[in-house]
Amino acid sequence: QQQVKQSPQSLIVQKGGISIINCAYENTAFDYFPWYQQFPGKGPALLIAIRPDVSEKKEGRFTISFNKSAKQFSLHIMDSQPGDSATYFCAPRVGSARQLTFGSGTQLTVLP
């Protein structure tokens, strides 16, 4: 059973554009919804995360939108920059001690 489905697999946007990555999940027990950013040859780093009691969270150019009824959450990157070119993973989790469930990843390329 694929618990987390991430799309698109790859995304190319122009500098200054909006990048949108989506994550659909099946496990309604998930209670923490993070997005991680990974550069080649590096470990993932937490970018932004949301709890299910809010529908949106914004940190700088990064926004998470959460739709509990649709079991989906998305990452929006405003004013995308070439330095944002990386692979992004959604990785929801059940409880604080449990492991993350990684999506398949989205390779974002921002053209200068």
Partner 1 sequence: GAVVSQHPSWVICKSGTSVKIECRSLDFQATTMFWYRQFPKQSLMLMATSNEGSKATYEQGVEKDKFLINHASLTLSTLTVTSAHPEDSSFYICSARDPLVVEQFFGPGTRLTVL
Comparing CB distances to partner 1, the nearer of 72 and 101 is: 101
Nearest to 14 by CA among 83, 88, 109: 109
The neighbour count for residue 102, using CB atoms within 10 Å, is 15
Note the residues at the interface with partner 1 (CB under 8 A).
36, 41-46, 89, 96-97, 99-100, 102-105, 107
The type of residue at 81 is Q
The SS3 assignment for 84 reads: helix
Minimal distance in Å, beta carbon 6 to partner 1?
A: 8
CB nearer to partner 1: pick between 80 and 103: 103
Residue 100 CB, nearest distance to partner 1 (Å)?
7
Q: How far is the CB of 69 from partner 1 (least distance, A)?
A: 26
